[in-house]
């Protein structure tokens, strides 16, 4: 039976507090507002989106607070950075899904869709092992044109 969302959130809050304490940092009001903002966002978002959400929770949160908190959120496993090769990075709050995820990225509107790709984890481990290596990270991204953008403009030849 799935845990209630508040229990998951409390566990994540405790884990985040422990992680930053191990780094010798305090769980300040602003850091916790950024944490809560990340928990409240769905889908892929930018640092600016996170700033807007966090400012709604605590108006003293600044852009600097966001950029100092992002490595802490990533390091604690609360969020994942998704680099799609644009001028900015996207972030995704982790949902506890254990399978490898790939991204489909619309070249036109930049919509990002996460899809299960469990074969990639196996493939990465198998190829690395064949060469005596241990995988650290891997990603699969497919750039495409979504249906909505296909209807708006003709495809390139």
Please give the Cα distance from 49 to 45 (Å, whole number).
6
Q: 61 is in which domain, residue-wise?
A: 5-93
Q: How far apart are the first and last CA of the chain?
A: 50
Residues 111 and 89 in one domain: no
- Does residue 157 lie within any of the structural domains? no
Token duo for residue 143: 């750039």
pLDDT category at 5 given cuts 50, 70, 90 is: very low
pLDDT category at 4 given cuts 50, 70, 90 is: very low
Distances in Å between the alpha carbon of 124 and those of 46, 113, 132? 28, 21, 12
In this structure, what CATH number is given to the domain that contains residue 44? 1.10.10.10
Taking residues 131-152, what's their average pLDDT?
87
- Does residue 22 lie within any of the structural domains? yes
Per-residue confidence (pLDDT) for residue 119, from 0 to 100: 86
Beta strands in the chain (DSSP E): 79-82, 90-93, 101-106, 112-116, 141-144
Residue found under tokens 């296909």: 150
Distances in Å between the alpha carbon of 132 and those of 27, 121, 125, 157? 41, 16, 10, 42
Residues 80 and 122 in one domain: no
Residues 128 and 53 in one domain: no
In this structure, what CATH number is given to the domain that contains residue 114? 3.30.1490.190
Tens digits of residue pLDDT in 21-67? 999 999 999 999 999 999 999 989 999 999 999 999 999 999 999 99
How many distinct structural domains can be found in the chain? 2
CA nearest to 50, candidates 13, 91, 109, 19: 91
Residues 59 and 124 in one domain: no
Q: What is the pTM of this model?
A: 0.74
- Does residue 71 lie within any of the structural domains? yes
pLDDT category at 112 given cuts 50, 70, 90 is: confident
């Amino acid at each position: 039976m799935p845990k209630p969302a508040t229990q998951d959130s409390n566990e994540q809050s405790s884990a985040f507090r422990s992680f930053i304490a191990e780094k010798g940092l305090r769980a300040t009001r602003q850091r916790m507002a950024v944490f809560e903002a990340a928990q409240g966002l769905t889908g892929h978002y930018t640092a600016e989106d996170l700033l807007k959400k966090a400012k709604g929770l605590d108006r003293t949160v600044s852009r600097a607070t966001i950029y100092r908190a992002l490595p802490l959120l990533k390091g604690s496993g609360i969020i994942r950075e998704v680099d799609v090769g644009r001028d900015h990075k996207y972030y995704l709050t982790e949902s506890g899904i254990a399978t490898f995820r790939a991204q489909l990225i619309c070249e036109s509107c930049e919509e990002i869709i996460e899809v299960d790709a469990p074969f990639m984890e196996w493939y990465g481990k198998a190829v690395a092992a064949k060469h005596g290596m241990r995988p650290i990270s891997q990603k699969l991204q497919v750039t495409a044109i979504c249906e909505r953008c296909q209807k708006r403009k003709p495809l390139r030849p």
